[in-house]
Chain A
């Protein structure tokens, strides 16, 4: 008899605990954040997370009566097999409601089938290749695509007296995408690409390439290289060989003058013209509030936020919107319906998620690097509103 009693109590206790746990689980909305936080792309994860923290600081971490829980996973990227495993674990073990982050294209591509199979909304907060959103109907992007940013650069250049351009890109998929996008848009606007060179991905020496550019005397050089040291090396070589004095301009996508890295690049970048969707110098009340909250949420040592932080911020805004409209009950298909056509007032400007392609539609600004209060900023002076990803 005693044993039966004890057994009954144990079973009841067990069931109760189980019930409480599952009940608790239903009280939170879980977001799995998958990005590189260590290794060569450690900054990507940190910036995205910084943007997410900023949003939570401004808006609190509760929505529709439920708490938002961010589960951070480091891919140590670029490691698509790790990203895929982490996504699977987040879905199966942690039972997340959203998969978010994705600093690098291969990692996003590897995770796409998981989002598809498990019917979980997947929010891309950085990866920039066009094809990502075509891999599953559960993918929406809040960052940008490379062709979306590059084409306006070509159009602007042709409209502003630059007719002969030499392109220099790093020899890897994003670089080739940029080269193709630029060539197509530039030719369509009446310009001529005099020559195109692809530099090796691991490139310690820019001298021979810069010499080639100098020798062919174009009006401008369009460059796309991985952010950071390649950009710095190129600008240094550009200065050293006197290409600026020879009247050759530098045009590029904003990756070259990334807000986070710009202060370290130094004055060699003054006058560089870029197109991009976000500048820390963007003059709007939303951006000012964002910059302030970012510094508060991440400390002064975190430096300037860049476009990845803004994407993290806007991604959280989208997630909050979905949670509000679905009253906290996240269903994959319903969430995608909310996301399609969603309009947000981002710190970068107005953004929309295209209902047909689930990709981002936003304003692309033309900026020049100038000194503002003694620091280098990308100052916007022209824009192309509501740019879609070309070819979709």
Chain B
């Protein structure tokens, strides 16, 4: 029984880590630019398709394709931010929602046109398949890899935000954009770079998640709920918030499906509604 519980916990943490990786960019975008970006899933999808294209058409190995997915998506994010997103920072949330839904539709149609409507297969390298024995438990090798990557990235992000000057600029701009501008911080540049970073992380998450979440043109709409969930529950603008929220949601979703599969689908939505009632601004939220 304990073995089962630990196994479920492990799976839940792995699933949650993936959700976190994709959603962290959304959290920062919403916390920093106060922009409700429902197209965030499209960036994850882009990273996934870049990874798959590199692997199937150019024969690039999986691990090498991951950083490329990150960089490519970050670049696209930066371009879109400068061209389109920045015009809507002061617009109403409704306008932002509509704009990002419009972008999402365009992305889905484009993906269907270029890649076709079916699932993209991905073959993982040998050492990432199957299971490994850890302390008497059978754990999925790929899931271990996922958790390791997310831990590394979270630490790196934490270091970036807390210990570097750029991180300080981000924190200042999140707390008070006007004052920061007044202090000489180039808020526009901070926004652009942060958006690029967030999109890049989403792209990386999308590429990493192909094996677990699948990849087809409807990816952004299918998983949009989960990303929004993580950010809404965790609170936009922080890293800890979405991390805790993603892990919580991942564990509850997996545990719910394992122990009470009859209501498996409800658990995650019901949990979200409960948490939103108790914490309308999110678990660690600053802005309502």
A241 to B131, alpha carbons, bound, how many Å?
A: 7
Residue of A whose beta carbon sits closest to that of B258: A208
Cβ < 8 Å to B, chain A residues 87-117? none
Question: Of the 9-residue stretches A152-160, A199-207, A321-329, which lies at the interface with chain B?
Answer: A199-207
A199 to B223, alpha carbons, bound, how many Å?
A: 17
A208 to B254, alpha carbons, bound, how many Å?
A: 6
Task: Fill in one digit per residue for B112-138: 1 if any A CB lies within 8 Å of its CB, else 0.
Answer: 000001110101000001110000001
B212 CB contact (under 8 Å) in A198, A199, A205: A205
- B102 part of interface (Cβ distance < 8 Å): no
Shortest distance between the CB of B194 and any CB in chain A (Å) = 28
Question: Of the 9-residue stretches B169-177, B227-235, B261-269, which lies at the interface with chain A?
Answer: B261-269
User: Are the CB atoms of A202 and B214 closer together than 8 Å?
Assistant: no
Residue of A whose beta carbon sits closest to that of B223: A204
B214 CB contact (under 8 Å) in A171, A197, A233, A239: A233
Cβ–Cβ < 8 Å partners of A201 in chain B = 265
Shortest distance between the CB of A239 and any CB in chain B (Å) = 8
- A74 part of interface (Cβ distance < 8 Å): no
User: Are the CB atoms of A209 and B214 closer together than 8 Å?
Assistant: no
Majority SS at the chain B contact face: helix
- A228 part of interface (Cβ distance < 8 Å): yes
Q: A229-B119, A233-B214, A264-B118 are in contact. Are A212 and B258 (CB under 8 A)?
A: yes
- A42 part of interface (Cβ distance < 8 Å): yes
User: Are the CB atoms of A228 and B129 closer together than 8 Å?
Assistant: no
Shortest distance between the CB of B217 and any CB in chain A (Å) = 10
Shortest distance between the CB of B256 and any CB in chain A (Å) = 8
B15 CB contact (under 8 Å) in A198, A205, A236: A205
Cβ–Cβ < 8 Å partners of A212 in chain B = 258, 261
A182 to B11, alpha carbons, bound, how many Å?
A: 30
User: Are the CB atoms of A208 and B121 closer together than 8 Å?
Assistant: no
Q: A198-B262, A229-B216, A241-B140 are in contact. Are A208 and B257 (CB under 8 A)?
A: yes
Task: Fill in one digit per residue for A353-365: 1 if any B CB lies within 8 Å of its CB, else 0.
Answer: 0000000000000
Shortest distance between the CB of B89 and any CB in chain A (Å) = 32
User: Are the CB atoms of B142 and A240 closer together than 8 Å?
Assistant: yes
Cβ–Cβ < 8 Å partners of A203 in chain B = 265
User: Are the CB atoms of B15 and A207 closer together than 8 Å?
Assistant: yes
Cβ < 8 Å to A, chain B residues 62-105? none
- B24 part of interface (Cβ distance < 8 Å): no
User: Are the CB atoms of A264 and B119 closer together than 8 Å?
Assistant: yes
Cβ < 8 Å to A, chain B residues 184-221? 211-214, 216, 218
A204 to B214, alpha carbons, bound, how many Å?
A: 8
How many residues belonging to A are interface residues under a CB distance threshold of 8 Å?
Answer: 32
- A215 part of interface (Cβ distance < 8 Å): yes
A380 to B255, alpha carbons, bound, how many Å?
A: 40
Cβ–Cβ < 8 Å partners of A125 in chain B = none
A26 to B214, alpha carbons, bound, how many Å?
A: 51
Cβ < 8 Å to B, chain A residues 163-217? 171, 197-205, 207-209, 211-212, 215
User: Are the CB atoms of B138 and A242 closer together than 8 Å?
Assistant: yes
Cβ–Cβ < 8 Å partners of A240 in chain B = 129-131, 140, 142
Cβ < 8 Å to B, chain A residues 233-275? 233, 236, 239-242, 261, 264-266
- B167 part of interface (Cβ distance < 8 Å): no
How many residues belonging to B are interface residues under a CB distance threshold of 8 Å?
Answer: 34
Q: A240-B130, A241-B140, A264-B121 are in contact. Are A40 and B218 (CB under 8 A)?
A: yes
- A219 part of interface (Cβ distance < 8 Å): no
Cβ–Cβ < 8 Å partners of B218 in chain A = 40
Residue of B whose beta carbon sits closest to that of A228: B119
A240 to B128, alpha carbons, bound, how many Å?
A: 10
User: Are the CB atoms of A202 and B130 closer together than 8 Å?
Assistant: no
- A43 part of interface (Cβ distance < 8 Å): yes
- B222 part of interface (Cβ distance < 8 Å): yes
- A232 part of interface (Cβ distance < 8 Å): yes
Shortest distance between the CB of A128 and any CB in chain B (Å) = 21
A343 to B187, alpha carbons, bound, how many Å?
A: 75
Shortest distance between the CB of A249 and any CB in chain B (Å) = 19
Cβ–Cβ < 8 Å partners of B138 in chain A = 241-242
Shortest distance between the CB of A142 and any CB in chain B (Å) = 26
User: Are the CB atoms of A242 and B4 closer together than 8 Å?
Assistant: no
B117 CB contact (under 8 Å) in A42, A199, A233, A266: A42
Task: Fill in one digit per residue for B259-286: 1 if any A CB lies within 8 Å of its CB, else 0.
Answer: 0011011000000000000000000000
Shortest distance between the CB of A101 and any CB in chain B (Å) = 19
Residue of A whose beta carbon sits closest to that of B19: A204
Shortest distance between the CB of A42 and any CB in chain B (Å) = 6
Cβ–Cβ < 8 Å partners of B212 in chain A = 204-205
A242 CB contact (under 8 Å) in B130, B216, B253, B258: B130
Q: A198-B261, A208-B257, A241-B140 are in contact. Are A229 and B117 (CB under 8 A)?
A: no
A137 to B138, alpha carbons, bound, how many Å?
A: 57
| Other A-B pairs, 7, CB within 8 Å; known A208-B255, A232-B119, A233-B214 | A200-B264, A204-B223, A207-B254, A239-B129, A241-B131, A241-B140, A264-B118
22 contacts between A and B (CB under 8 A): A40-B117, A40-B218, A198-B262, A199-B264, A205-B15, A205-B254, A207-B15, A208-B261, A209-B257, A209-B261, A211-B7, A211-B11, A212-B261, A215-B4, A229-B119, A239-B129, A240-B129, A240-B130, A240-B142, A264-B118, A264-B119, A264-B121
Q: Which residues of B contact A (CB under 8 A)?
A: 4, 7-8, 11, 15, 117-119, 121, 123, 129-131, 138, 140, 142, 211-214, 216, 218, 222-223, 226, 253-255, 257-258, 261-262, 264-265
> Which 7 pairs show the lowest CB-CB distances between chains A and B?
A200-B265, A208-B258, A208-B257, A207-B11, A229-B214, A229-B119, A197-B261
